[in-house]
Structure 1
Amino acid sequence: MTDNEKQIRTLIERWATAVHKGDLEAVLVDHADDIVMFDVPPPHDGVRGVDAYRETWPPFFEWQAQGAAFEILSLDVTAGTDVAFAHALLRCGTPKELTDHPETRLRLSVGLRKEQGRWVVAHEHHSFADTTVVGDGA
Structure 2
Amino acid sequence: MTQSIQQLITQWAHAVASRDMTQIMAFYANDLIAFDAVAQLQFSGKAAYQTHWQQCLEFCPGGHSTFELRDLTIKQNDALGFSHALVYCAGSNEKGEIQGCWMRLTQGWQQQQGQWRIIHDHFSVPFDMVSGAVLFELTPEA
TM-score, structure 1 as length reference: 0.80
Given candidates 45, 51, 56, the residue that maps to 1:49 is 45
Quote the offset at 1:74 in angstroms.
Answer: 2.2
Residues matched between the structures, number: 126
Matches within 5 A, 1:69-88: 69-88=66-85
Instruction: Specify every segment of 5 or more residues in structure 2 that has no aligned partner in the other structure, as ranges.
Output: 92-96, 133-142
Could you tell me which residue of structure 1 aligns to residue 35 of structure 2? Answer: 38
Q: CA deviation at 1:97?
A: 4.7
Instruction: Give the equivalent residue in structure 2 for 1:22.
Output: 19
Aligned to 1:60: 56
Q: As a proportion of its length, which structure holds more strand?
A: 2
Summarize the Cα distance change of 1:130–1:110 in structure 2 as closer, same or farther, 3 Å threshold.
Answer: same
1:89 is aligned to 2:86: yes
- 1:101 corresponds to which residue? none
1:20 is displaced (CA, Å) by 1.1
Instruction: Describe the shift of the 1:131–1:16 C-alpha distance in structure 2 as closer, same or farther (beyond 3 A).
Output: farther
4+ runs deviating over 2 angstroms: 63-69, 93-98, 131-135
- Name the counterpart of 1:128: 125
**Alignment RMSD, CA only?**
2.3
Measure, in 1, the Cα distance between the counterparts of 2:25 and 2:90. 22
Q: How high is the TM-score relative to the length of structure 2?
A: 0.78
Deviation at 1:133, TM superposition (A): 6.0
Paired with 1:122 and 1:20, the residues of 2 have a C-alpha distance of 21
